[in-house]
Amino acid sequence: MPGFYSDSIFWVEVDRIKPNPYQPRKDFDGAKLNDLAASIRQYGVLQPLVVTRKEFQKSDGGLGTEYELIAGERRLRASKIAGLTQVPVIIRAEVDSDKMKLELAIIENLQREDLNAMDRARAFDRLVNEFGFKQTEVAKKIGKSREYVSNTLRLLMMPVEMQEALSQGRISEGHTRPLLMLIDRPPEQDILFRDIMLRKLSVRESEGIARRIAVDRVRKWKRMYDPEIVAMEERLKEVLGTRVVIETKEVGGKLVIDFFSDEDLRGILSLFNEKAGAPPSVPLPNAEAPVDDRAPQEIAKAADSDETFDPRNFSI
């Protein structure tokens, strides 16, 4: 096949271009496709599609030509929506294997940053497991580090629900790091995933929670001799609806309660106030604080009181 095909631009009917069976991109946003179609109606297709060309013998004995898409499926779909009958293409003459079709499609999409994290992970997985590439080879071809490829492939270890959330943009790729930290603890991983979704946790908040869970696992393993503390901690988690850590020391210890918003904090304080017989609504520090009209001696006496909260006496 003439070599100039690789550098020249041709106009081909959209109906004669077959989709690429190795297209790594699976998710196409309908609204964004319509936006691109509107732009194509006004300005045309500014970047040619990449295709292969193949001749075949027709039933009447003549020769026919068909094209298979290598890169540019989003532009092809938008062109059809825009009503175009032809699109500009570059014909790659040297593409003669399925491996090269997949390789070119992945690289083109990566260069244009058109693949979401999960599409990228699945594409890398196909290169490694279906076509025998080593991770170092994949990294070299896309101009990334081996660690980048390895970390991307680890996304496939997440449950399907989390993979779908990442593909749809409901969680970011940064959120997957703390989720993967809990890969060997599915219940905690699922709780963190729900928190990220419902509470809109940032990546930093999510990583902090994952680290605390990991540390808590070690701490619990070290103190399994005191199942009463573990049971009280679980009870408090159930009652308060959030993560609770009881840290014991040689003398005393401390109680750590997670909250994620002012509303969460008010709800937790209300539970304690109800048990103490106080009004259910307690102002936060940024609210106007009530005036304490007790005598100084009474305030000092209360501050010196030895009364402390004991989880053993807390129940709902």
Q: pLDDT digit string (tens) for 57-114? A: 777 777 878 888 887 888 888 999 999 999 999 887 766 666 677 777 777 666 666 6
**Residue 251 located in a structural domain:** yes
Residue 73 among the catalytic residues: yes
Residue with tokens 């936060």: 284
Element housing 242 (H / E): none
Contacts for 84-87: CB closer than 8 Å, 24+ residues apart: 84/14, 84/40, 84/45, 85/13, 85/14, 86/11, 86/12, 86/13, 86/14, 87/11, 87/12, 87/14, 87/17, 87/45, 87/48, 87/49
Q: Which residues pair with 10 in a beta bridge?
A: 89
**Residue 299 located in a structural domain:** yes
Calculate ∠ Cα 287-266-214, nearest 5°.
Answer: 120
Rounded-to-10 torsion of CA 247, 281, 240, 165: -110
Residue-by-residue pLDDT tens, the chain, 316 positions: 444 345 578 898 998 888 877 666 666 778 888 888 999 998 888 888 888 887 777 777 778 788 888 878 888 889 999 999 999 998 877 666 666 777 777 776 666 666 788 988 988 888 888 878 899 988 888 888 999 999 999 999 999 999 999 988 899 999 999 999 998 888 889 989 999 998 899 999 999 888 887 766 655 555 545 677 778 888 888 888 787 877 776 677 788 888 777 777 888 888 877 766 655 554 555 544 455 555 555 545 554 544 444 544 444 4
Number of domains within the chain: 2
Report how far residue 241's alpha carbon sits from residue 238's, in angstroms, rounded to the nearest whole number: 5
Given the DSSP bridges, would you call strands 49-57 and 86-91 parallel, antiparallel or unpaired? parallel
**Residue 307 located in a structural domain:** yes
CATH of the domain at 19: 3.90.1530.30
Nearest to residue 181, comparing CAs of 159, 213, 148?
213
Residue with tokens 């013998």: 57
Of 96, 114, 132, which marks where a domain is finished? 114
Using only C-alpha atoms, what is the Rg of the chain? 30
State how far the alpha carbon of 97 is from the alpha carbons of 54, 92, 103, 104, 173, in Å.
13, 12, 10, 11, 32
Of 67, 84, 114, which marks where a domain is finished? 114
What's the pLDDT score for residue 1? 40
Domain around 82: 3-114
**Residue 85 located in a structural domain:** yes
Which residue among 73, 103, 188, 233 is the active-site one? 73
Helix (H, G, I), strand (E, B) or coil at 156: helix
**Residue 204 located in a structural domain:** no
What percent of the chain is predicted at pLDDT more than 90? 19
**Residue 306 located in a structural domain:** yes
Decide: 95 and 89 in contact? Cβ < 8 Å.
Answer: no
**Residue 178 located in a structural domain:** no
Of 98, 114, 130, which marks where a domain is finished? 114
**Residue 175 located in a structural domain:** no
Q: Which tokens go with 267?
A: 């709800």
Amino acid at site 24:
P
